[in-house]
Amino acid sequence: MTETALRAVSPPTHLSEANEPTSPVQRFGADEPLLLDAGVALAPWQIAYQTYGTLNAERSNAVLVCHALTGDQHVANRNPVTGKPGWWETLVGPGLPLDTSRFFVICANVIGGCMGTTGPASIHAEGGRVWALDFPLVTIRDMVRSQAMLLDRLGIASLFCVVGGSMGGMQVLQWAASYPERVFSALPIATGPRHSAQNIAFHEVGRQAVMADPDWRRGRYLDEGVRPRKGLAVARMGAHITYLSETTLHRKFGRALQNRDAPTFTFDADFQIESYLRHQGSSFVERFDPNSYLYVTRAMDYFDLAAEHGGTLANAFRGSPTRFLVMSFTSDWLFPTRESRAIVHALNAGGAQVGFVEIESDKGHDAFLLDEPEMFAAARGFLDAAAIARGIR
Amino acid sequence: MTETALRAVSPPTHLSEANEPTSPVQRFGADEPLLLDAGVALAPWQIAYQTYGTLNAERSNAVLVCHALTGDQHVANRNPVTGKPGWWETLVGPGLPLDTSRFFVICANVIGGCMGTTGPASIHAEGGRVWALDFPLVTIRDMVRSQAMLLDRLGIASLFCVVGGSMGGMQVLQWAASYPERVFSALPIATGPRHSAQNIAFHEVGRQAVMADPDWRRGRYLDEGVRPRKGLAVARMGAHITYLSETTLHRKFGRALQNRDAPTFTFDADFQIESYLRHQGSSFVERFDPNSYLYVTRAMDYFDLAAEHGGTLANAFRGSPTRFLVMSFTSDWLFPTRESRAIVHALNAGGAQVGFVEIESDKGHDAFLLDEPEMFAAARGFLDAAAIARGIR
């Protein structure tokens, strides 16, 4: 019956990327701590990032792309771990809506991540062991603070635009709230002003799946030479369902059987959807650190922009100079359109400039990463108009 | 950090119910095998059941209640394992819509279950060990076949009504398709004519969570004196989310914190929803057999009534003499109203008598188990009218 359970696949990813990433890194010493919401001054720390295009002489054309839960800084180049194309090559590149021949695009790995920015898989300066669960918990605001310190290093006072989907969109909103004068325009996609009870619930199941794996070793698996593969795979399988729509699942898989004419009456993956999910789970564990999964999901759960502003979301954007375009997808049930509407209402109440597009799509939450011509067209129009207003050629 | 992971709670349930249930049992010997869809003649086997009320002299007032995934035969009496009230005491009892002073109500534990009907936790006749994964896979049709054999034993040729929600509703549909002449009326609630790709996906994640637990021991945990508690708890946590609606989760929990004023910045259960889900997971493992969870979820996944009838659902009900009432709930996203509509269309196409009620409720799939006055009223009206037609006083 061994084929019925999730199998370990190939040797573990060695997470050399966590400490010595194949992308530029800015390192901050004891005198430049990252001040975290948890009350910890994190130092030393580092942030890994990629850039595309050229910063113009006026330093006015910088665009910050914020990545989602399991994304990274490799937006538009081959990923050094998976060997696959960048995760947003549909949107970012020469001639694309985020035109790298016009804009200087920056994307940094989030704090708590595992692709070169300090996180639980990083070597802890004191002792040579990895941080594991000694790493302090982080928030979306901490991610944004770390990005602001990166931009200071790079000499970028003001961003032309901040763009992101899902957790990336939370960072976009946090940027506009925390540093309004540094954000000329903002493009939050498929996101919300806070994480819902249902979304917290799904994340909690994923965390429990990781922590239930005896190879998690209370977070010390890297020191002990093991890896909670099965737990992380189960977490990913469950999460993956929430990224798709029922329609997508039905269209792609329906009740089709996997390379067979009749059910086997075993616990093998009889249905294509089962086989697909098992693959999603087992490939994810090759590229992502299990503890990072705990930290970054927790950061999303803690996100509640209104709570930071006396319980009124509009206060987060009061008098904002930023121009916004908010986008949602009709079939996204993780961040449904009502979440985007709440953002739009708050922006209107706060007196900000805001456009809103709900895109008809049956691809669910993942639509923001896929080929969605209406999203591309709306983003292009918004960015082109903002570029004229900003005087970018 | 021990408090962050799911804890084992109290001693394991001993599953004596699986072999010697505290309810009546009918035992079938080698000469009366249960012929399974998997091609196996299961013998010996047994079926455990409860009855309420009295069979009338005409033997015309028998109602079969079919239970859902993790339900059992204890519909309207204190559950011998949990000590809690029966699972449908809102509907079944004297003076209630399923009036036990008028009707003779029967409910049997499903084949593959763990409450006294033969399943993977039952002692295998050959050897004294439990069946574990040597137990053949079962289907919804097998469940119905076993119930038909029970009714034969009890001398009940024809049922006044078959009632059930969710997986219970699948059995109702299967009864009407397999034994139309034995079913006077049928009341399928919050169900569908087949399991959707998304529902298969959620089940598969749950099965993988169980099988990923090293204490699962390839299904041999009972022989080895262990129990995959954490895996089953994770499976239940994930499934539980699908039984509720986003609205319910928001109303009951929102982003409220658990006995604290501010987040702890740890992986403790900061949010009430986290604490609630952990409780759901850990209490479930005290009452349900992990292997049964694999078998019964699989039975639901295999269910596809149209496929049994040349791909046309209406063929399942062609010329049906049964009168139907189909019910769904507006906020049920596991078995949304469109699934019930598919049943209704097929019944109409097959020429059957059918009523349909979509009940406005924000309680999600679990609504069928809860206080839903509109459901009670509709069920009462349907049953009373059918009783008149059947000549039951």
Element (H, E) at A148: helix A140-154
Taking the C-alpha atoms of A250, A255, A259 and A262 in order, what is their torsion angle to the nearest 10 degrees? -170
Q: What's the CA dihedral at B9, B11, B15, B21 to 10 degrees? A: -100
Residues in Cβ contact with A77 at an 8 Å cutoff, skipping those fewer than 6 apart: A50, A52, A86
Instruction: Count how many Cα atoms sit within 13 Å of the Cα of residue B231 in the half-sphere of its side chain.
Output: 33
Q: Do A246 and B133 touch (CB under 8 A)?
A: no
pLDDT of residue A13 exceeding 50: no
Among A252, A271, A298, beta carbon nearest to B267: A298
| Kind and range of the H or E run holding B184 | strand B183-189
| pLDDT of the residue at B125 | 61
Is the pLDDT score of A3 beyond 80? no
pLDDT at B37: 97
- Rounded CA separation B143/B110 (Å): 6
Residue with tokens 């209104």: A306
pLDDT at A129: 87
Residue B305 pLDDT exceeds 70: yes
Shortest Cα–Cα distance, B20 to chain A (Å): 27
Q: How confident is the model at residue A6 (pLDDT cuts 50, 70, 90)?
A: very low
What are A210-253's pLDDT values in tens digits?
999 999 999 999 989 999 999 999 999 999 999 999 999 999 99
Mean pLDDT on B169-191: 98
The vertex-B146 CA angle with B145 and B152, nearest 5°, equals 90
* B382-388 CB contacts, 8 Å cutoff, 24+ apart: B382/B185, B382/B187, B382/B325, B382/B355, B383/B97, B383/B98, B383/B99, B383/B103, B383/B161, B383/B185, B383/B187, B386/B160, B386/B161, B386/B184, B386/B185, B386/B323, B387/B61, B387/B102, B387/B160
Question: What integer is the mean pLDDT of A272-288?
Answer: 95
3-state secondary structure of B178: helix
Mean of the per-residue pLDDT values of chain B: 94
Contact assignment for B212 to A37 by CB distance below 8 Å: no
A158 is an active site residue: no
CB B232 within 8 A of CB A205: no
* pLDDT band, residue B128 (cuts 50/70/90): confident
From A4, A209, A219, residue closest to B209, measured CB to CB: A209
A126-140, A235-249, B229-243, B271-285: the lowest-pLDDT one: A126-140
Catalytically annotated residue among B332, B340, B361, B366: B332
Q: What is the mean pLDDT of residues B129-134?
A: 93
Residue length of chain B: 393
Which residue do the tokens 């109602």 mark?
B63
For chain A, the structural domain boundaries read: 2-12+199-298, 20-194+310-390
With a cut of 50, say whether residue B220 has pLDDT above it: yes
Question: Which residue out of B9, B234, B240, B284 would a mutagenesis test of the A interface target, given it has the greatest number of A Cβ atoms within 10 Å?
Answer: B234
> pLDDT tens for residues B248-260?
999 999 999 998 8
Task: Say how far apart CA A43 and CA A114 lie, in whole Å.
Answer: 17
Mutation target to probe the B interface, by most B beta carbons within 10 A, among A4, A204, A266, A313 is A204
Instruction: Indicate the CATH number of A20-194+310-390 among 3.40.50.1820, 3.40.228.10, 3.30.420.40, 3.40.50.150.
Output: 3.40.50.1820
Determine the Cα–Cα distance for residues B67 and B167; give it in Å rounded to an integer: 7
Has residue B91 got a pLDDT over 80?
Answer: yes
Q: Give pLDDT, residue B126.
A: 64
Half-sphere exposure of B381 (CA within 13 A, CB side): 11
Q: Are B243 and B280 in contact (CB under 8 A)?
A: no
**ipTM exceeding 0.90, yes/no:** yes
Residues A17, A6 contacting (CB under 8 angstroms): no
Decide if B166 is catalytic. Answer: yes
Domain B18-196+309-390 CATH class label: alpha beta
pLDDT at B14 over 60: no
* Strand partners of residue B164: B66, B188
* Residue B211 to residue A253, Cβ atoms within 8 A: no
Closest to B339 measured CA to CA, from B299, B303, B373, B370: B303
DSSP-derived letter for residue B8 is P
Question: Do residues B267 and B2 touch, judged by C-beta distance below 8 A?
Answer: no
Top CATH class, B2-12+199-298: mainly alpha
Give A159→chain B minimum CA distance, Å: 30
Residue A193 has pLDDT above 50, yes or no: yes
Q: Mind telling me how many Å the CA of A270 is from chain B's nearest CA? A: 10
The one catalytic residue among A332, A340, A361, A366: A332
Q: Name the percent of chain A lying above pLDDT 90.
A: 92
Predicted local distance difference test score (pLDDT) of residue B209: 98
Q: For residue B76, is pLDDT > 50?
A: yes
